[in-house]
Amino acid sequence: MLNIFVENLAVSTTEQALRAAFEAFGPVLSVKVVADRDTGVPRGLAFVEMSSDEEAQAAIAGLNGKRIDERVIHVNEARPKQIDGSTVRRAMRSHRKHRY
């Protein structure tokens, strides 16, 4: 199972459209279009999870640089989120603000 990062999406691109594009390479487990927390407007990013690494690599090779909804998309293997010291400090400050 491989998680794929997709960027430079049009605001109008739907999860269904992404699913259809990626299903040409194999079964898609999930599609998540990232939206702004405050406004709910899509940010032009998405994560696609495919069932096999081979199919995911084929989708990356086949879709990177292709057009979806008149935008050239960039498709890569998603990297794990890096946690640096500032992220940890912000989380600790936030945690201390809340009384349980």
Q: Are 50 and 26 in contact, with CB atoms under 8 Å apart?
A: yes
Q: Report pLDDT digits (tens) over 20-30.
A: 999 999 999 99
Q: Where are the alpha helices (DSSP H) in 2-52?
A: 15-23
pTM: 0.77
Query: Tens digit of pLDDT for each residue in 52-89?
Result: 999 999 999 999 999 999 999 999 999 876 666 555 55
Question: What single DSSP character describes residue 52?
Answer: -
- Cα 100 from Cα 92, distance rounded (Å): 14
Whether the per-residue pLDDT at 13 is higher than 70: the answer is: yes
Task: Give the CATH architecture of domain 2-97.
Answer: 2-Layer Sandwich (3.30)
pLDDT of residue 86: 54
